[in-house]
Structure 1
């Protein structure tokens, strides 16, 4: 189909955008048969462009038409045409619209007069007579509105309509014919654009610097002003502009340089520093990037378990001991969240600080099916489990550990450690922590979110045990969060999970035993003549170890070992020749069975404190240390020790129970309550006895990181230093 020819005039300019994004300018020489003769502005030879070529470029939005020769435009005209019509103030646009009426009238009368000046005079008279009263009313209305706006800015009374008389407007005058000629010539010569009639009021005034500028290394008043602004105004702690101006005056007086006024000083700041530049100099580039940067939203994944987020959070609630009722501190919460469906795959809550132990329990809870049949008060199930494809997390030590790297290799998923201080890259889980803080903890006794801390002591008002906190979070997840419409996915998370899992089935873990073997902590140890030594404990199975050790290179080889951080009773050794794991039980189950990594380190330090320097620690010493630690924990809960010490003692009691029971399997042995307390020294209240019963119904869990809406969590402490301090406190209590 033939293209309809487009109408252009000789002297017009066409801008063609090429495939690389560049722009080529062509001037129209004249009309040719079936097209136009165009001359490129780069000096090349002219050529004829067919109507089809021009129409195709026009339809593809690669053509821009300028009804004038843009190469020969004066600078002031080019500057005006570069700006859009909306850039100019309302008053300036109103004057340009009135000038358009004059030049349009000239265009209509110019052929009726033999002398053009007569046409200009006739147009001036006709337009002024027809629109004089109308334009005067517009000027008065504009003046009243401008005065009202100025009064509001000065915090004065806003004028009423009756106050219009005192407002003075400049008299409306009939333009001179020579003025109309200047408007008409400019308007008709450069494309009849209304912007050509804009008054050049923005060019009025003296635009030269008042004081001479030095372009060499010598100082002038403007260089001194910039130094004073950046050193005394745009630094922390923040100071006022008049303080920086006083320093500027002192420097000018010292250097014998003229000084500008305070008003010019403030204008210099506004014209030379954007708000972002000022914020960046005061708070740093990163803070300015976060405040003024524009971030693109990522496209959510299409498949469930394609991308998950993992993070830790110190919850905004004080937990108490189930028997004594004394405050223990704030537990840690670890959560694994699916990005596509926004369901929570797994969680862990306990007093265990962020470590691989808490991460391992959260992963195990996310990988396997949950069993909620024995938990009362729940209305819905939690059918979310499986192995993810990508795990997005921060740069915590446990999230960069060799153990997690081996786990991702064995279970075929990838861990991506996000850059430091970029919480928005895992904003879904950060927002989730904020929701938990507000919807679960904000109305409970013992919350730290109270805004009246002078009248509300969260430690003294704490009432919930760790098991009760665990149950409240669990009920919120399965009965509220999963069943409420999520604003991002526009449906219920559990409904989205069921829809997507029908299309994309989840990848299961090979078997239940793999939960510990594939997620446990990884170490490499050789096989000695008696077995495998780890943390002062001996693990042995002669039948298995003899076969492994007898192989070529078996004496010097370091074998891959998996350890459950909550149970040192046995370890798993990997036979890489046949691809099998073998269980090696500890030869001393009394000091290892159901003993966590944290507990074992405490036992070793207690034994070391009770022995002379250089004396080796024996099994008997560890048994005595274990007994002493258990008795000390009981004593600490009975006596009113500090909350920080009680939190460490509660961490010692953690047994690694998952957030909820797992279907047809148990990671750890059944939890055991502490030994009964002396009724004379401690009398548990009714809520404490209720908590004791709930401790069996809902197991506890562990966690870590800072929610988006809560205060920053305390920095992670060194593991060994924390144990050292706790042992010293315990030893002082026992003396």
Structure 2
């Protein structure tokens, strides 16, 4: 295909970019047959470029045309051409457009007059006569608009410090022929660009420093001002500009130096520090990053269960005991959300603080099918389950535990621990928690709302039990959230789930028995001659353990053990030779069956403080401690004085029931409420032991009262929690 010749003028500049990315600048000398004679600006010989070569570079976007000689361009004109037309204020562009009318008229009349000055005068008279009234009306309209804007923003308006200062509105006057000549000559000589007609108002004024500058080490007022800004304004704790200015004046007076005005001091800060740099120095790098950073939106996954998010949330609602009606505090909600479909895969609601126990129950609920047949009031099902590929979560202790790492290896998924304090990286679940708080909890009695704390007591107004709250959340999930068009995916989450699962089937759990064995707490323990010891309990199956101990290295080997954190009645041991799990029952079922890890630690703590120092804890001691704990919890539910104390008892009474029943399987025994006997008086317990147990049970929400901290508390360390309980118990005994 033949190249179409491109039009260039003599004196134009052409920039060619070669294959390496370097740019060569050439000047147009003249038109030759079939091309142009170009002169290199680097001093090499002239050469003729054919139309085909120029067209090829032009089509490949390797050619830039400058309609002037950029090498000999004056600095004032080069500075103007470097900036785009939109950079200049509206008033400046208006003046340039009017000048363009004058120079265009000169271009049309210049051949009709033997002397150019006569053409300039004729153009000035013709254009002024034709456009005078129109331009006056435009100036009046602009002045009225500017006055209205200034009236609104006068008190909080900041001065503009751009190099492109706006031109003040002045009466429309007819320019002289000499003025038009000063416009026309550079405009016609350097490419006829309208930017060449920009008024150079930004170059007006005195550009020299008002006071003498010292270029040696001797101080001057500007060096002192920079030091005052750094020491008194750009550091923590944050101070105001007038305070830094007062310190600057004191330093100048001490050194007998002149000082600038407060306005010049503010201009110095604005011109030498960007708003982000100032914010970062005064508030910290992270605060500046969150305020001024630009975050890219990630591409949503294409397959269901390709990416899921996990997090815990302390719900903004006080719940009460089902029998006594006493306020218990705020439970924790753990949710697993699928990013591709936005469906909720699983959840767990209890007074257990964020730990592997609550995480394990949420995972089990997400991995297996839900059975909602026995729950009344639901209009839809919850057909969401399966094993994910990637799990995105924060750096909580339970989310970095060895147990979860072993679970992801066995079930073939990966856990991604996001950097600390980056909630936007799992923004879908963070937004979900906010939606639940507004749509489920905000209108219920007992809701924790910061705007109502002064005149609304959520503890006194609490009415819902944990089971009722769970029922409300469940109905909202299956009947409202899953059945409402999601603004991100533009359809209903359950509809998206069904569509994508038809295209990409989900991975199932091998069988229901794997729910605990593959998600339970993982430990490594050797096998002694009596069995496996764990937390002071003994687990044994003679036939199984004898076979494992008889193998080579079986006596010294650390075997993988899985423990249900809500039931210490049995554990699972892995035979890695044949790839099979074996059940090891606890030899003392009375103190282990349906006893959670937290309950067992409390039982040991009670037994320890009721025995002389150094006395070993036996099964009988643990049985008595368990009976005392259950009795004391009953007393706390009925006669406790503080809501926080009842919350501690509620955490102790948690039995690990899943959020909804799982199909054809149960993880724990049926929930058992404290016995209610209307004919007999409430069981009694020694006041000292009751108070000691209240101290031994940490708050479920990590605060003295649930209403005192409506925000989200930090996670509690279980081991530190136990040590704190020991100290509290010791102080109580004193």
TM-score by length of 2: 0.91
The equivalent of 1:192 in structure 2 is 192
User: How does 1:307-346 map onto structure 2 within 5 Å?
Assistant: 307-346=307-346
Q: 2-side partners of 1:40 and 1:421: how far apart?
A: 57
Q: Secondary structure at the match of 1:270?
A: helix
Call closer, same or farther: CA 1:496–1:48 in 2, change over 3 Å. farther
Please state how far the C-alpha of 1:124 moved relative to its aligned partner: 2.6
CA-to-aligned-CA distance 1:421-462 (integer Å, 9 cap, x gap): 110000000000000011000001111025121211111111
Q: 2-side partners of 1:659 and 1:288: how far apart?
A: 40
Q: 2-side partners of 1:681 and 1:207: how far apart?
A: 92
The equivalent of 1:27 in structure 2 is 27
Q: 2-side partners of 1:43 and 1:57: how far apart?
A: 22
Call closer, same or farther: CA 1:39–1:365 in 2, change over 3 Å. farther
The equivalent of 1:275 in structure 2 is 275
CA-to-aligned-CA distance 1:676-698 (integer Å, 9 cap, x gap): 25556579xxxxxxxxxxxxxxx
Please state how far the C-alpha of 1:92 moved relative to its aligned partner: 1.7
User: How does 1:155-554 map onto structure 2 within 5 Å?
Assistant: 170-449=170-449, 451-554=451-554
1 or 2 for the larger relative contact order (CA 8 Å, sep ≥6)?
Answer: 1
Call closer, same or farther: CA 1:506–1:78 in 2, change over 3 Å. same
CA-to-aligned-CA distance 1:104-134 (integer Å, 9 cap, x gap): 2222222222332332233233333333343
Q: 2-side partners of 1:20 and 1:122: how far apart?
A: 53
The equivalent of 1:714 in structure 2 is 713
CA-to-aligned-CA distance 1:460-519 (integer Å, 9 cap, x gap): 111111111111111110000000000000000000000000000000010001111111
Please state how far the C-alpha of 1:94 moved relative to its aligned partner: 2.0
Q: 2-side partners of 1:500 and 1:717: how far apart?
A: 39
Preserved CA contact (<8 Å) 1:548 1:554: yes
Q: 2-side partners of 1:680 and 1:541: how far apart?
A: 43
Q: 2-side partners of 1:7 and 1:658: how far apart?
A: 78
The equivalent of 1:689 in structure 2 is none
Q: 2-side partners of 1:116 and 1:55: how far apart?
A: 38
Larger CA deviation: 252-261 vs 348-357: 252-261
The equivalent of 1:115 in structure 2 is 115
Q: 2-side partners of 1:21 and 1:417: how far apart?
A: 41
Please state how far the C-alpha of 1:261 moved relative to its aligned partner: 0.8
Call closer, same or farther: CA 1:384–1:53 in 2, change over 3 Å. farther
The equivalent of 1:163 in structure 2 is none
User: How does 1:561-580 map onto structure 2 within 5 Å?
Assistant: 561-580=561-580
Q: 2-side partners of 1:419 and 1:617: how far apart?
A: 43
Q: 2-side partners of 1:30 and 1:610: how far apart?
A: 107
Please state how far the C-alpha of 1:188 moved relative to its aligned partner: 0.9
Q: 2-side partners of 1:716 and 1:677: how far apart?
A: 37
Call closer, same or farther: CA 1:711–1:45 in 2, change over 3 Å. farther
The equivalent of 2:558 in structure 1 is 558
Please state how far the C-alpha of 1:197 moved relative to its aligned partner: 1.1
Q: 2-side partners of 1:437 and 1:424: how far apart?
A: 18
Larger CA deviation: 301-310 vs 668-677: 668-677
Q: 2-side partners of 1:238 and 1:339: how far apart?
A: 41
Q: 2-side partners of 1:21 and 1:353: how far apart?
A: 59
Larger CA deviation: 51-60 vs 328-337: 51-60
Pairing 1:631–2:651 present: no
Which runs of 5 or more structure 1 residues have no equivalent in the other structure? 157-167, 684-701, 705-709
Preserved CA contact (<8 Å) 1:632 1:730: no
CA-to-aligned-CA distance 1:634-692 (integer Å, 9 cap, x gap): 11111133222221211111111100000001111222222225556579xxxxxxxxx
Preserved CA contact (<8 Å) 1:334 1:703: no
Please state how far the C-alpha of 1:26 moved relative to its aligned partner: 3.1
Q: 2-side partners of 1:445 and 1:360: how far apart?
A: 30
Larger CA deviation: 92-101 vs 282-291: 92-101
Please state how far the C-alpha of 1:196 moved relative to its aligned partner: 0.6
CA-to-aligned-CA distance 1:286-317 (integer Å, 9 cap, x gap): 11111111111000000000000000101101
Q: 2-side partners of 1:351 and 1:612: how far apart?
A: 33
The equivalent of 1:51 in structure 2 is 51
Preserved CA contact (<8 Å) 2:121 2:177: yes
Please state how far the C-alpha of 1:181 moved relative to its aligned partner: 2.0
Preserved CA contact (<8 Å) 2:329 2:701: no
Q: 1-side partners of 2:290 and 2:155: how far apart?
A: 34
User: How does 1:9-28 map onto structure 2 within 5 Å?
Assistant: 9-17=9-17, 23-28=23-28
Call closer, same or farther: CA 1:215–1:603 in 2, change over 3 Å. farther
Q: Secondary structure at the match of 2:577?
A: coil
Call closer, same or farther: CA 1:46–1:351 in 2, change over 3 Å. farther
Q: 2-side partners of 1:20 and 1:307: how far apart?
A: 41
Larger CA deviation: 361-370 vs 258-267: 258-267
Q: 1-side partners of 2:462 and 2:16: how far apart?
A: 72
Larger CA deviation: 212-221 vs 579-588: 212-221
User: How does 1:541-690 map onto structure 2 within 5 Å?
Assistant: 541-677=541-677
Larger CA deviation: 49-58 vs 3-12: 49-58
Call closer, same or farther: CA 1:638–1:679 in 2, change over 3 Å. farther
CA-to-aligned-CA distance 1:20-47 (integer Å, 9 cap, x gap): 6664433223333333333444445554
Q: 2-side partners of 1:42 and 1:658: how far apart?
A: 78
Please state how far the C-alpha of 1:135 moved relative to its aligned partner: 3.0
Preserved CA contact (<8 Å) 1:26 1:38: yes
Which runs of 5 or more structure 2 residues have no equivalent in the other structure? 157-167, 684-699, 703-708
Please state how far the C-alpha of 1:729 moved relative to its aligned partner: 7.0
Larger CA deviation: 494-503 vs 616-625: 616-625
Please state how far the C-alpha of 1:283 moved relative to its aligned partner: 0.9
Please state how far the C-alpha of 1:332 moved relative to its aligned partner: 0.5
Call closer, same or farther: CA 1:215–1:475 in 2, change over 3 Å. farther
Q: 2-side partners of 1:169 and 1:599: how far apart?
A: 81
Preserved CA contact (<8 Å) 2:221 2:257: yes
Q: Secondary structure at the match of 1:392?
A: strand
Preserved CA contact (<8 Å) 1:525 1:559: yes
CA-to-aligned-CA distance 1:219-269 (integer Å, 9 cap, x gap): 322232233334333445544332222121111111222100112122222
Q: 1-side partners of 2:58 and 2:325: how far apart?
A: 79
Q: 2-side partners of 1:370 and 1:454: how far apart?
A: 42
Q: 1-side partners of 2:414 and 2:45: how far apart?
A: 59
Q: 2-side partners of 1:731 and 1:613: how far apart?
A: 12
Larger CA deviation: 413-422 vs 259-268: 259-268
Preserved CA contact (<8 Å) 1:349 1:703: no
Please state how far the C-alpha of 1:413 moved relative to its aligned partner: 0.4
The equivalent of 1:707 in structure 2 is none
Larger CA deviation: 402-411 vs 1-10: 1-10
Preserved CA contact (<8 Å) 2:635 2:682: no
Q: Secondary structure at the match of 2:595?
A: coil
Call closer, same or farther: CA 1:410–1:47 in 2, change over 3 Å. farther
Preserved CA contact (<8 Å) 1:632 1:734: no
Preserved CA contact (<8 Å) 2:354 2:716: no
Q: 1-side partners of 2:447 and 2:309: how far apart?
A: 26
Please state how far the C-alpha of 1:405 moved relative to its aligned partner: 0.6
Preserved CA contact (<8 Å) 1:310 1:337: yes
Larger CA deviation: 497-506 vs 614-623: 614-623
Pairing 1:125–2:110 present: no
CA-to-aligned-CA distance 1:194-222 (integer Å, 9 cap, x gap): 11111111101101111223344433222
Q: Secondary structure at the match of 1:377?
A: coil
Please state how far the C-alpha of 1:18 moved relative to its aligned partner: 5.2
Please state how far the C-alpha of 1:575 moved relative to its aligned partner: 0.8
Q: Secondary structure at the match of 1:572?
A: strand
Aligned residue-pair number: 701
Q: Secondary structure at the match of 1:29?
A: strand
